[in-house]
Amino acid sequence: MSRYSRRHRERRYFRESVKRQKLREQNYKCAICKTSAGIWDYDHIDGNRSNNNPHNLQVLCPNCHAKKSRGLLKQEKRSSFLRWLKIGAIILFFIILIIIINMLWPFMSNIKKIQALSLAKDCYSMKLDLLTNATVVDDAIRFVSESEKSKDKDKEGE
């Protein structure tokens, strides 16, 4: 018996109850692209087809599952790097803003001081939101890339 057929034969599927539970946990969205496809593939995260631990399950749309299976999702790791790079840039902006406010504080009128503090407070709350909910940044990156793709398609159609 060949190695392929032996490995293929040992494949086990996730129980239906586990699939339904995971789909609910993911809010009926693909674990990668976060869209609601309506058609789902159930993926073994570690690639081991016989490891049916519920923590090894992710629900994917057929498109993302095909990309993952073919090793075409290496850009996802890069987008994670970009997410943290953008968060770092926001934190750096916040630090620079605080330094500038501290340098100009003695020369500012009371109204300008209130405006500066309000701006700093807004920046700080944005920083906290981004740090505690990184999916906001993921969604923004995805939105920008999708809008760029649609612009490219529109240009090609003209």
What whole-number distance in Å separates Cα of residue 138 and Cα of residue 145?
A: 11
Instruction: Confirm whether pTM is higher than 0.75.
Output: no
Q: So what's the pLDDT on residue 72? A: 79
In this prediction, residue 130 has a pLDDT band, given cuts at 50, 70 and 90, of low
CB atoms within 10 A of CB 92: 10
Per-residue pLDDT reduced to its tens digit, 135-155 = 555 666 666 667 666 666 666
Please check the confidence at residue 1 and state whether its pLDDT lies above 70: no
By the 10 Å C-beta count (0-12 exposed, 13-18 middle, 19+ buried), 127 is classed as: middle
